[in-house]
Each structure stands twice: as structure tokens, then as C-alpha cells.
Homo-oligomer: A and B are copies of this chain.
Amino acid sequence: MDPRLNIIDKRFENVKRIIAVSGGKGGIGKSLTASALALLLTKQGFRTGLLDLDFCGPSDHVILGIEGVFPEEDKGIIPPEVLGIRFMSITYFAGYNPVPLRGSEVSNAIIELLAITRWNELDFLIIDMPPGTGDPALDIIRLIKRVEFLIVTTQSRVALAVAKKELQVLKELGIPVAGVLENMRLKEQSAVKEELSCFEVPFLGSILFDYSLEDALGDPLKLLKTDFAVELEKIVKALC
């Protein structure tokens, strides 16, 4: 019997909303959305946590420029508060090293993190998901009862095809979808909203491709001033 499974619910007892930023495909801006979302919610006065679950390609610490912090050990581990955000990432334990884990091991590591991390009181916990509908997605669905998904996609046919598959699984399982966000829009027209209308999930809006974004990575103040963040802030208001 794995005792850790029975403590996870208790760890989220005082977390009001849990939002997993997902989308099936990689490189659509999940990590950027999750990181900026955490920053913006904190700015608006919400107590916010950010959990980077992309163990093979963790990016939130790069995007937010987080370095040199480590959780405190106290009846579990307490995520350090950085930029006002309670931040948890595999990088505390993996450093800059590659993380060549098989799915069952990713699953085990996720269970361990969920079982020992004490988030305490939070208004929002944002979970940055890896691509795919493998172990991390299945575990978050299985282990966190109140999770909602925020689906990111681009207008690209390859991204849309994958987003549809994830939405189909979530719909079938009755997992709430907080909304769909179109990212990196390049053209005037986009069929994303219509293409996904059959899933009956809120369409949160489109964010344009932002050429200034790359230079803002690692610098939270700059990040908040990008068009990306300004657009996301409008969208966040619809979420709260």
C-alpha cells in the first residue's frame, strides 16, 4: 500500500483553486502562460503557488529568473516564496542536470512531491504541465480531485489536432476546463475558436506572437510589461 496517496488531498485542503496549464502539444506557451499567470495573480493580491511538473524540460525557473532558493524542511517541505509566489520545481533536486526518467518514475516523483509539499493557504495553485497525456496528466486527474484545466493552443493545425484530443479526454472524464487560450497568433484570422466550439468550453481569447518576449525571459519585471503579459492580464480577469 502506498501511504502517500492518502495524504495528497489533505495537502490541498487550504488551496482554493488548482489550475493545470496544459494543451497536449509542446512549445505552445504552457510554461510562459503558467509563469505569467502566477505573477499576475500575485500582483492582484492573490496568494499564489506555482508547481512546475515538466520534469524533463522544466522552464518556469528560467522564465522567472529564479535561482539560489531551496524549500524549507518543516513537517514536509515548504516551497520558497519568490516574487511573492510559492514556487516548487524538480530543479531544486535535479539542478541543471538532465532528468532521464521513465513514466512510472515521473509518476512516483510527482506523488512524492504532492505528498510532502505543504502549500498551506493559497488562492491559486498553478500547475505547469509537460506536453502529452501521459503519466503527469493522468496522475493530476487521478490524484487532485478539484483540478481545473486551462488549455493552451496555437492556431497551427498540428497544435489544434493535439488540443482537441486532450479536450476530448477531459470532457469524457468530466474534468472542468477553465478555458482555452490561443497563443502566438500570427494572422488576422484564426479558426481556433470555431474549431473548438463543439467542446463547449470558454474561449478566453487570443494572444499575438510577441517578438519582445524572448528578451524578457528571466526578468519578471520586463515580462510583466510585454504585450503577452498585458494581454494575459485581461484574460486572467475573466478567470477569477
A residues in contact (CB < 8 Å) with B:
24-28, 31, 56-57, 59, 62-63, 96-104, 106-107, 130-135, 137-138, 155-159, 161-162, 165-166, 168-169, 186, 211, 214, 217-218
**Sample (25) of A-B pairs whose CB atoms are under 8 Å apart:** A26-B27, A26-B131, A27-B28, A27-B131, A27-B159, A56-B134, A57-B158, A57-B161, A57-B162, A62-B157, A62-B161, A63-B158, A98-B168, A100-B134, A100-B138, A102-B103, A102-B104, A102-B135, A102-B138, A103-B104, A103-B134, A104-B104, A156-B217, A158-B217, A186-B214
* Interfacial chain B residues near A169, Cβ < 8 Å: 98, 100
A210 to B40 alpha-carbon distance, docked (Å):
32
* Interfacial chain B residues near A134, Cβ < 8 Å: 56, 100-103, 106, 134
A168 to B25 alpha-carbon distance, docked (Å):
24
Contact between A107 and B102, CB atoms less than 8 A apart: yes
Copies in the complex: 2
A103 to B106 alpha-carbon distance, docked (Å):
9
A179 to B101 alpha-carbon distance, docked (Å):
24
A218 to B157 alpha-carbon distance, docked (Å):
9
* Interfacial chain B residues near A24, Cβ < 8 Å: 56-57
Given that A137-B100, A156-B217, A186-B211 are known contacts, is A131 also in contact with B57, CB under 8 Å in the complex?
A: yes
A113 to B27 alpha-carbon distance, docked (Å):
27
Given that A101-B134, A134-B101, A157-B218 are known contacts, is A25 also in contact with B165, CB under 8 Å in the complex?
A: no
